[in-house]
Chains A and B, each alone.
Chain A
């Protein structure tokens, strides 16, 4: 009984505990790590991953996966820069609308036609990436946001961080306090049972992928607002880091349980690990990929063992 509670606690709050340990360790051992400047820069960097991971949390709770978020993020970043020629409103509206459209189509294929989410979103990844290359003349052309555009204000200073916090508050309420959130848990636990109970499974799924696509689109717009140009490679492969963050946060990849607060802790944890690694020694970006991959693998094994302990107890 006690072991079971301990397992549940570790699953739910493990990431937060690790964050606290790392902050204490980092603050004590590494000079210049716990400065406002360094932490602020890390927060801004983490906010883009945080927003896509929020959308992914909803998808994973519903029992699916969205592999397209990185490519949609990238596509919408380029679209934001492209459409900034028509004014600031267009620079924000076009990417968000395109992200939403991607999510709606994928959601329809997954919810209505009942196709497997990984293959549909992998197709989405391929399509979105193809579209980026098409728009940028096979990656040759770079679009820049005009100087002095009010669109750039969106990426200025702590704005991405504030947006992230607001979105997480909204997301938390949506998942934990609304009928929609409750339906997500039900569908993620057992889709067949939910269908038999008369829940609108297809509609809920479409909504979930729409939210995920919309948030990926918004992230693209924000990152372009911060960088000033639409970089074709930005966002590509982010889905893997986002999956790692969600899993680190205690959300079970099989669906049916999870919390957005955990995802935020997971994103912060990944950011801290990377921050500490880059701060203490000169680590290449390929090392980063290895670190997040290994972390993900370890967490997965621990999760599988924990859920086993809980079931056999």
Chain B
């Protein structure tokens, strides 16, 4: 590879997501009708925020070199638990919802940290169990409508979480330890870092974020367990497209945000221009693979 080529691929890896985002947004302004209306933006924010929140938690886990496949099930679980406790008021209900994420995160985190189970395997098992519980809880119940918060609150929560994760990943000891573990778990252990504690914390954070996202999602009536299945995959794609490699050792929070916006924008562009949902789904599958190919071999 010549120097120009390797510079080009490094540029694509780090800033490709922003370039793609700007291009897509510009072409939308020109082509799609009613693109810059308040109504369209509101609808997009409602769809974007859950993916974004899940992606922020996912970025932390991927930074450790792991992955959390259970986020979809955790979203379904917190969405199923929410209506049960809403009678006691909003605050206890939200706490109960977040608690489901903390518990499932602790379960995955313990499997990964203490029992040394591969992250994919551990979180897959938690996915199956979580979905089972969500199904049992939601069985025969009328599906909830989530918290039903308004758009400004959604944006506020999203921005707050972006700031929290940025500071956490970039400015704190925890963030540094997390990235070090992702870079080389054995070396991190030998240099005396609290590997197990950091791993556990990152999975608990990811679970809690997913639980929060679950409470913002409107459940589909037909099958509550499928809530968030797509969102989990979108979140992983957002993280990877944003420049965080699946092998860990690096976290790009702003890239993750751009990645989430990009995915939402692609789907929206297709749907607004008359493509059926099935086509949008296939396109997203291609984007996932493309994102991983671009990030291939990064460290």
Contacts and interface: CB of A to CB of B under 8 A. Distances in A.
B117 A304 contact: yes
A163 interface: no
A131 B278 contact: yes
Given A113-B296, A124-B285, A254-B118, A138 B276 contact: yes
Nearest to B73: A293
A293 B128 contact: yes
Given A290-B135, A290-B136, A126 B281 contact: yes
A134 B293 contact: no
B139 interface: yes
A53 to B, nearest CB: 15
B125 A297 contact: yes
B115 A301 contact: yes
Contacts of A308: 115
Interface residues of A, number: 43
A286 B288 contact: no
Contact of B288 (A126, A134, A138, A290): A126
A133 interface: yes
Contact of A290 (B127, B133, B138, B284): B133
B149 interface: no
B120 A118 contact: yes
B128 A119 contact: no
B282 interface: yes
Interface in A245-285: 253-254, 284-285
Contacts of B246: 116, 119
What is the interface of chain B mostly: helix, strand, loop, or mixed? helix
B111 interface: yes
Contact of B69 (A118, A133, A287, A300): A118
Interface string A225-245: 000000000000000100110
Nearest to A117: B120
Interface in A118-151: 118-120, 122-124, 126-127, 129-134, 138
Interface string A186-204: 0000000000000000000
Q: Which 9 interchain pairs have the tightest Cβ spacing?
A: A290-B132, A286-B135, A130-B281, A293-B128, A133-B278, A127-B285, A130-B282, A293-B129, A134-B278
A100 B293 CA distance: 22
Contacts, number: 126
A120 B236 CA distance: 12
A133 B277 CA distance: 8
Contacts of A289: 128, 131-132, 135, 225
Interface in B210-244: 225, 230, 233, 236, 240
A240 B118 contact: no
Interface in B109-150: 111, 115-118, 120-122, 124-133, 135-136, 138-139
A284 B117 contact: no
Contacts of A118: 67, 69, 120
Given A114-B296, A297-B126, A297-B129, A130 B278 contact: yes
B286 interface: yes
A286 B136 contact: yes
Which of B124, B129, B133 has the most CB atoms of chain A within a 10 A radius of its CB? Answer: B124
A298 to B, nearest CB: 9
Contacts of B277: 133, 138
A109 interface: yes
Nearest to B120: A118
Nearest to B136: A286
Nearest to B124: A243
A38 interface: no
